[in-house]
Chains A and B, each alone.
Chain A
Amino acid sequence: MGLSEAARIQPARRRLVELLLGGGVLSSIAAFVYPVLRYLIPPPVPDLGGDEVVASKVADMKPSSSKVFRFGTRPALLLMTAEGEYRALSAVCTHLSCTVQYRNDLHQVWCACHNGLYDLTGRNVSGPPPRPLETFQVHVRGDEIVVSRKREA
């Protein structure tokens, strides 16, 4: 084997060694990093709220009053209109997820964070909210007011 031939072959061999070494180092780094990345993602929380919740007692609600209650993992708003009708809405503002409240002086639903307003059916009326609030079904069962998610028919 002449000198020139050795010089021609050697870089190929060297590249193979570099590839094996580099690949080994890279895959061991990947083996460290992958579990860490997975560790950073929080495990899912089971939604124990179900599709139905007792929002309030009938005796606790008066006309033109409201109550924020827990529906699954998020807050929701139970309203009694001046006419005595119950309404249940998601209390999570569609703008940036603050918790909304009923304003008796405006007869509207108001978000304190960025001044968003909704009417009592959940429709976004003014301010930054881009979408209406999600609405839920309300039933009175005995002395309890039960709120449930709307079933798609």
Chain B
Amino acid sequence: MSLFTGVQAWLDERFHWAELIGPLKKKTVPIHKLSYWYFLGGITLFLFFIQVGTGILLLLYYRPGANEAFESVQYIMTRVQFGWLIRSIHSWAANLMIFTAFAHMFSVIFLRAYRKPRELTWLSGMILLFLAMGFGFSGYLLPWNTLAFFATKVGTEITGRVPVIGHSMMVFLRGGEEVTGATLTRFFGFHVAVLPGLTALFVLIHLGLVQYFGMSVPPGLESRWKASPGEARQMKFFPNFLLRELMAWYIALGVLGALAAILPWELGTKADPFAAAPAGIRPEWYFMFMFQTLKEIPAKLWFMDGEVVGILVFGFAGFLWLLLPFFDRLGRGRGRRLIMGAGLFALSYIIALTIYGYMAK
């Protein structure tokens, strides 16, 4: 008996191991032209694992606090062996993770994988995307550099402009009326404790739902396969799909390593709360489309301040986006076309405004 089967037998005797992993063994993945899109969620998960790993490593040297944060990141970048690499990987993986999460979301829209019975899978995925953006927003401030300081100032100010509850939310986020060291302390706590805990929980829920419902097949193909079951093709998740997924992860790791080594993440200059915002101030790219929109809205719209209108519109659009799957079965295909249209509009709006944001002065 080899060691592996020995351990397996030992576990089986105590936990009925075979029964526990039985459903995982039965899981299959449909094979079709668009199967490649199934990799995106997995790659996002892989990048999240990288974030946990590199984040823990950064914690060994990082010190939160307005007087220490910038210096400690500088120390990591210049003195700690391979510190520059660990931090660059953390920054790059964060950005790639948001990118793959967005791509995963749009693939779910366009392949109509959100439809019944997977509404809650969509919802848990959207919560994960919001959490990821929360990670990005809170993590951006931690090096306490000028760019991050003003991005945080604007970002929390936007929260503050939400009618009624805005101001108390802003004070809660900032730990006071202004962005100070107290904000940094809070963001650090959110970034390393609150958000990871919530994310772990929702990743489990999300994966559990994916496991429970199985992989979605694009609707056109699904009805064809139902008509003639002989045509349906699928592979076993374990090991066939998993090995392919591992290959995708390996490629993602290669891209990540190359980016981190060739384009190490910059640190910038230390934040000074009593200096003017420098030219070329901008948020991370995934907030760019909102940033650029706020820049373009006129000061006054009807009787409201322009930015309040912008914030309310984005908030409402985000809320509708969250509920998107529930519109799918509205009147004979109308809802479906609505979702497709909303998806196309959102994608082109985000791409157009992001490009415009980087081109415009």
Contact = CB atoms under 8 A, between A and B. Distances in A.
Interface of A: 40-42, 45, 68-70, 73-75, 77, 91, 95-101, 111-115, 124, 127-130
A63 B151 CA distance: 32
A128 B306 contact: yes
A60 to B, nearest CB: 16
A112 B279 CA distance: 5
Interface on chain A toward B: helix, strand, loop, or mixed SS? loop
A69 B274 contact: yes
Contact of B172 (A40, A70, A112, A114): A40
A41 B154 contact: no
A1 B298 CA distance: 78
Nearest to A45: B176
Contacts of B274: 68-70, 75, 99
B245 interface: no
Contact of B294 (A40, A96, A112): A96
B281 interface: yes
A42 B157 contact: no
B157 A111 contact: no
Contacts of A128: 294-295, 297-299, 306-307
Contact of A113 (B171, B175, B281): B281
A135 B280 CA distance: 26
Given A112-B279, A127-B299, A128-B307, 11 more contacts: A42-B172, A42-B182, A45-B177, A68-B274, A68-B276, A73-B178, A75-B273, A95-B299, A97-B154, A99-B274, A128-B297
9 contacts: A41-B171, A45-B176, A96-B154, A96-B158, A98-B150, A99-B276, A113-B281, A115-B361, A128-B306
A98 B277 contact: yes
B153 interface: yes
B278 interface: yes
A45 B161 CA distance: 21
Contact of B275 (A68, A113, A124, A127): A68
Nearest to B186: A42
Given A113-B150, A128-B306, A100 B276 contact: yes
